[in-house]
Amino acid sequence: MRVTVLGSAASHAGAGEACSGHLVECDGGRVLFDCGNGVLSNLYKVADPYRLDAVFITHNHPDHYVDLYSMQAMLRYAPEGPLERMPLFMPTGLFQRMQGLLSERGAAQFREAFELTELRDREPVHIGAMTVTPYAVNHTEPTFALVAQADGVRLCYTADTAPGPWVVAAARGADLMLAEATLPEPYAGASPHMTAAQAGALALEAGAGRLVLVHVWPTNDRTRMAAVAQSAFAGPVTVARELDSFEVTRKGTPS
Ligand SMILES: [Zn+2]
Ligand SMILES: [Zn+2]
**Ligand number with the minimum distance to the CA of 59:** 2
Identify residues whose C-beta is under 5 A from ligand 2, the ion: 61, 160
- Ligand 2 centroid to Cα of residue 222, in Å, is 20
**Separation of CA 152 from chain center:** 20
What HEC string does the chain produce? CEEEEEECECCCCCCCCCCCEEEEEECCEEEEECCCCCHHHHHHHHCCHHHCCEEECCCCCHHHCCHHHHHHHHHHCCCCCCCCCEEEEECCCHHHHHHHHCCHHHHHHHHHHEEEEECCCCCCEEECCEEEEEEEECCCCCEEEEEEEECCEEEEECCCCCCCHHHHHHHCCCCEEEEECCECHHHCCCCCCCEHHHHHHHHHHHCCCCEEEECECCCCCHHHHHHHHHHHCCCCEEECCCCCEEECCCCCCCC
- Ligand 2 centroid to Cα of residue 26, in Å, is 27
Number of Cβ within 10 Å of residue 20's Cβ equals: 34
Residue 214 φ/ψ, nearest 5 degrees: -135, -175
- Ligand 1 centroid to Cα of residue 144, in Å, is 12
- Ligand 2 centroid to Cα of residue 160, in Å, is 5
Strands across the sheet with 176-180, in order? 125-127, 130-137, 143-150, 153-157, 176-180, 211-214, 237-239
- Ligand 2 centroid to Cα of residue 61, in Å, is 5
Average pLDDT over residues 184-205: 97
Residue extents of the structural domains in the chain? 2-247
Average pLDDT over residues 71-96: 94
Residue 252 confidence class, pLDDT cut points 50, 70, 90: confident
**Ligand number with the minimum distance to the CA of 20:** 1
**Ligand number with the minimum distance to the CA of 191:** 2
Q: Please name the residues in contact with 166: beta carbons below 8 A apart, sequence gap of 6 or more.
A: 135, 136, 137, 138, 145
pLDDT at 215 > cutoff 90? yes
Q: What is the pTM of this model?
A: 0.97
- Ligand 2 centroid to Cα of residue 79, in Å, is 34
Burial of 126 (0-12, 13-18, 19+ CB in 10 A): exposed
Question: Is the distance from CB of 9 to CB of 215 less than 8 angstroms?
Answer: yes
Residue 81 confidence class, pLDDT cut points 50, 70, 90: confident
- Ligand 1 centroid to Cα of residue 97, in Å, is 16
d(CA 175, CA 207): 9
Q: What is the pLDDT of residue 131?
A: 98
pLDDT at 96 > cutoff 80? yes
Q: What is the pLDDT of residue 82?
A: 80
CATH fold of 2-247: Metallo-beta-lactamase; Chain A (3.60.15)
pLDDT at 32 > cutoff 60? yes
Residue 83 confidence class, pLDDT cut points 50, 70, 90: confident
Q: What is the pLDDT of residue 117?
A: 98
Q: What is the pLDDT of residue 255?
A: 53
Identify residues whose C-beta is under 5 A from ligand 1, the ion: 61, 63, 160
Q: Average pLDDT, whole number, for the chain?
A: 96
pLDDT, one tens digit per residue, over 118-128 is: 999 999 999 99
pLDDT, one tens digit per residue, over 136-178 is: 999 999 999 999 999 999 999 999 999 999 999 999 999 999 9
Measured distance between the N- and C-terminal CA atoms of the chain, rounded to whole angstroms: 12
